Amino acid sequence: MPDFEGDLRFYIGLASLGTMAILSFLVVFISARGIRRQWKLAMRESQQFPDREPLTLDQFYEFYYAAEQLPRAVVLETLTRFAAAAHLPAQFLKPVDSFQSLGAKHPEDAERFIADAAMLLQEAERHYGVSLFSGKLITLDDFIRAHSLAARLASRSAKSAAQG
Q: Do residues 4 and 37 share a domain?
A: yes
Q: Do residues 42 and 71 share a domain?
A: no
pLDDT digits (tens, 9 = 90+) for 93-142: 999 999 998 887 888 999 999 999 888 888 888 887 777 667 788 999 99
Say if CB 83 and CB 90 are below 8 A apart: yes
Q: Do residues 35 and 67 share a domain?
A: no
- Among 8, 140, 123, smallest CA distance to 76 is for 140
Residue 76 belongs to domain spanning: 57-163
Q: Do residues 69 and 14 share a domain?
A: no
Residue 22 neighbours by CB distance under 10 Å: 10
The count of domains in the chain is 2
H/E stretch holding 112 reads helix 107-128
Q: Note if the pTM is more than 0.85.
A: no
Residue 61 neighbours by CB distance under 10 Å: 19
Q: Do residues 66 and 101 share a domain?
A: yes
pLDDT digits (tens, 9 = 90+) for 21-68: 898 888 888 887 877 777 666 666 656 788 888 899 999 999 999 999
Q: Do residues 71 and 135 share a domain?
A: yes
What does each C-alpha distance from 13 to 9, 20, 22 come to in angstroms? 6, 10, 14
Q: Do residues 78 and 99 share a domain?
A: yes
Decide which of 9, 31, 48 is a domain's last residue: 48
